[in-house]
Amino acid sequence: MKIKSYSLILMGLLCSSSFADETKNIQLELIEIKDSLENYFFNLDENTQTKTISGDAAAVLQGTSSSNYFKSLQLLPSVNVETQDAYALTVDQNMLRVRGQLGDTFSKLSTTIEGIPFGVNVGNGGTGLLVDKENLSSLDFTTGLTPSNKGFGLGTTSGALDLKIVKPKDDFGGMLSIAGGSDHYKKAFLRLDSGKINDKVGFFISASDMENDKWKGEGEIKRKNLNAMTTIDVTDETQIELFGAYNTFDRHEYKPLTYDETKSLSSNYSKDYNSTLTGVAKTDAMYYDYNKQDFDEYFYYIALNTHANDLKIRLKPYTFGSEGTRYIGNATNGTVTKMTIEQEAYGANLDLDYPLAGGKLYGGWWYQQMESTPPPKIQKVYSIQSDGSLKFKSYGMLTDIDDRMSNSPYIGYDKTVNNTYFNVGLRYMMFDFPAVTGYNTTGMTTDLSYDEAIAASSGIKSGMKVDESSSDVLLPSLVIEQKLNPNWKVGGGYAKNFANPWQGPLWSVYNSNTSKFQAAGITLQDLWDELKLETSNNFELFAKYSYENFLLKNTLFYGDYKNKQVTVYDPNLDLSYYKSDSNATSMGAEIEGSYNLNQTATLFASTYYNKFEFDDDILLATNTYLKSKGNQIPDVAKFGAKLGVNLDFDKFSVTPIARYIGKRYGDAENTEKVNGYTVFDLNTKYVVQKDKVELSLALQNIFDKKYIGIVKNSLDDTRTGATDYYQGAPFSAVFSMIVKF
């Protein structure tokens, strides 16, 4: 894929095109700190399905990060967001937990822009962040009760996040944002709006450049981004909108700790990859420049909005993709693996709604075709020479992968009758999983391109071919809410959610240990056929009380998870491999609220309890059991709380926030205990000139707390000693200035 050149061409077309959408001008307003939590951070008056976070609030909640929209969720109860450093210019698969579920975008978390799925992270690679915070008008986040017309993508068991873009503005203008901070953090962002042209056409284009050094060890992280949108009012009834995003990043990795190293956290807190070469291959495999990745990513959509009488029609074709390389050092044998990852997806969503009997009947169809999903098409292994150079050694993997297809029709109806609101929906999710063929690379000693390597192969590797398979599931949803009086509102509902199974890890383990599996009489097709869609039955009840300046909401939730996807250790094979036939149960409670103390101060808080346990011991392929029944799922804290206050003194505002995450375990046997922690952040802002100039200072972990943040357990790994632990980022500070013109 020629991602970079094609993306730049398309970005130019977006800004000169005469196609677009009917959207009113949405402007970034300065935050009114004196507003309640309901308006400042998220709208608790929204129905139980979705919470909306404004773009301004998201910018504050992101703190020292200028692009990580996932951090906008960190004040929500039962949401734990951790990143490897304070700036989070890229994210990984283990950076988010929602009610205990891992929020990876390839399997359990739907991430969309204006309702359209975009890039996912695969192969343990990172993913960039396609939209800068200055271009976000709001975020919608849904947990548990996913309606039938939300959550497009590869899974919803941990929720659905939809990003809303600040559309082209009616008047010509722009925004310049610059920032600098700890670890040589630098950022520059510029957005230009054309204003309405001939009362029909408008566009914006933005560009940003960010970078920072790693806070420990050698290396740096860089990110560049382009966004553009064009809108056109074709007629009063028809509008067209085009949006494009191009993102590129280069990242040196942070080295995780082992569990034993976490026991002496203070002395190991700055431990990282080696900063120099030694001439010893096994030592040099841990050299920082042999553990890195770089990716180019793009996302484009066209939205046609029209209506025929009362029928509203929205058609959104789209495409997204990524191309990059990940380098991984192996200290066991003194080699470096180079993994080439490519993906390309095409799809469309047709969405309809029609007023019916005082309510709204809605429905549509989502379709997506994705090329080159995991496992990787090609892996190459290099030996490390005494002078530190890399020499081609062998192929770790060479595969041919068919397309992955998704089809999903949906229908629903919502209505308010007197003081009762209900929303009922049904979605049918169909997946066609690709056939995968692995090729024999024995005797291939030359560093070849993918096509050359396929041609040079002697044929299919024994046992490394699996057939195409299909899976489907019905996803009903129901929400009912009742307003009892001006102060009380109660409700609840049910929804079934799903998660796409990871197939890449299973392929990789079998490919590396074919003889062991075959000696035990286990074929790859046997294990492949056991992979199923994970499903969850989610139930919620809530009660909300509000009076004048006080607001409180309590939610009870229950989740029944089937075919939960875990990595299991089989002692008879002495291997960890992937299975998706475990069951688990989650139950808990969330309390969130706010209180306006006076015109200057607003107090906000949330807390949660979450018991998320395996239902049974896990059956291994060799007919033995691993003891997991009744154990808490790894990386899931039973208790957590967030507390803060907004202080507004006319032009100056201060927002201190405290976050507590309770005790966790790093393995499903619950032998690797991770202590709880509390961190304090502080965000301040000074408005020099309203709607023109503002200054801000964001401080993260202001007391420099040493703690374990990310617990990377390879899909709820049940093997003690298999988990990676990442230190939480130390004290960091970012000063920024925004100028609007």
Residue 534's SS3 state is: strand
Give the pLDDT mean for 635-645: 94
Of 623, 736, 688, nearest to 178 by C-alpha is 736
Look at residues 153, 200, 72 and name the one whose alpha carbon lies nearest to residue 657. 72
Could you tell me if 122 and 104 are in contact, meaning their C-beta atoms sit under 8 angstroms apart? Answer: no
Q: CA torsion angle for 645, 41, 688, 204 (degrees, to 10)?
A: 160
Q: Assess contact for 614 and 583: CB atoms under 8 A.
A: yes
**Given CA atoms 592, 595, 596, 601 in this order, what sign does their dihedral have?**
negative
Q: What would the mean pLDDT of 232-246 be, rounded to a whole number? A: 95
- SS3 assignment, position 111: strand
Choice between 721 and 308, residue whose per-residue pLDDT is larger? 308
Q: Which residue has the higher pLDDT, 128 or 24?
A: 128
The span from the CA of 643 to the CA of 688, in Å, is 28
pLDDT of residue 102: 85
Q: CA dist 550 to 69, 594, 605, 649, 705, Å?
A: 28, 6, 12, 21, 32
Q: What does the domain layout of the chain look like in residue ranges?
A: 3-740
pLDDT in tens, 689-712: 999 999 999 999 999 999 999 998
Q: For a pLDDT cut of 90, what percent of the chain falls above it?
A: 68
Identify the pLDDT of residue 124: 60
Arithmetic mean of pLDDT, 349-356: 97
Given a contact cutoff of 8 angstroms between Cβ atoms, the answer to whether 488 and 507 are in contact is no
Measured over the CA atoms of residue 635, residue 636, residue 639 and residue 641, the dihedral's sign is positive
* Predicted local confidence at residue 2, as pLDDT: 52
Q: Please give the DSSP secondary-structure letter assigned to residue 72.
A: G
Helix, strand, or coil (residue 716)? coil
Amino acid occupying residue 366: W
Binned at pLDDT 50, 70 and 90, residue 96 comes out as: confident
Task: Output the DSSP codes for 416-475.
Answer: EETTEEEEEEEEEEEEEEPPEEEE--TT--S---HHHHHHHS-SEEEEEEE--EEEEEEE
Residue whose tokens read 């569990």? 259
Question: Is it the case that residue 229 has pLDDT exceeding 80?
Answer: yes
Predicted confidence at residue 40, as pLDDT, reads 47
> According to the model, what pLDDT value does residue 23 have?
35
pLDDT at 431 over 60: yes
Instruction: Note the pLDDT of residue 35.
Output: 36
- Token pair for residue 523? 């074929």
Tell me, rounded to whole angstroms, the distance of Cα 186 from its chain centroid.
24
Residue 63 pLDDT: 83
User: Average of pLDDT values for 502-518?
Assistant: 87
Specify the residue for token string 């006076």.
598
Tens digit of each residue's pLDDT (9 = 90 or more) over 448-507: 999 999 999 999 999 999 999 899 999 999 999 999 999 999 999 999 999 988 888 888
Q: What is the mean pLDDT of residues 245-255?
A: 95
Which of 120-134, 230-244, 333-347, 379-393 comes out lowest in average pLDDT? 120-134
pLDDT at 197 over 60: yes
DSSP annotation of 289 reads G
Distance CA 406, CA 472 (A): 10
Closest Cα partner for 505 from 717, 324, 334, 329?
Answer: 717
Q: pLDDT-based confidence at 180, cuts 50/70/90?
A: very high
Cβ–Cβ < 8 Å for 556, 542 = yes
Task: Compute the half-sphere exposure of residue 241: CA atoms within 13 Å on the CB side of its CA.
Answer: 19
What pLDDT, in 10s, does the model give residues 50-76? 888 888 888 888 888 878 888 888 889
Q: Of 526-530, 566-570, 583-587, 679-683, which gets the smallest average pLDDT?
A: 566-570
What does the alpha-carbon distance between residue 431 and residue 497 come to, in Å, rounded to a whole number?
14
* pLDDT for residue 5: 47
Q: Which residue has the higher pLDDT, 507 or 173?
A: 173
Q: Which residues does 267 contact at the CB level (< 8 Å), separation at least 6?
A: none
Per-residue model confidence (pLDDT) at position 719: 59
| pLDDT tens-digit series, residues 374-415 | 788 899 999 999 999 999 999 999 999 999 999 999 999 999
Could you give the CA distance from residue 18 to residue 159 in angstroms, rounded to a whole number? 36
Q: Which of 460, 469, 495, 466 is nearest to 480 (CA)?
A: 495
444 has a pLDDT exceeding 70? yes
CATH architecture of the region 3-740: Beta Barrel (2.40)
Q: How confident is the model at residue 298 (pLDDT cuts 50, 70, 90)?
A: very high
Higher local confidence (pLDDT), 699 or 625 = 699
Name the residue type at position 179: A
Task: Concatenate the DSSP letters of all residues of 592-620 into one string.
Answer: EEEEE-SSSEEEEEEEEEEEEEESSPEEP
Q: Determine contact, residues 593/551, Cβ cutoff 8 Å.
A: yes
pLDDT of residue 548: 86
Strand partners, 371: 344
Of 37-51, 132-146, 235-249, 273-287, minimum mean pLDDT range: 37-51
Residue 712 is predicted with a pLDDT of 84
- The whole-model pTM stands at 0.91
Higher-scoring residue by pLDDT: 283, 547 = 283
% of the chain exceeding 70 in pLDDT: 91
Give the pLDDT of residue 233.
95
How far apart (Å, rounded) are the C-alpha atoms in residues 421 and 115? 23
Buried b (16+ CB within 10 A) or exposed e, 619-633: ebbeeeebebeebbb
The number of helices, as runs of H, and strands, as runs of E, in the chain is 10, 42
Return the amino acid letter for 428.
Y
pLDDT at position 439, please? 96
Question: How does residue 714 score in pLDDT terms, banded at 50, 70 and 90?
Answer: low
pLDDT above 80: residue 48: no
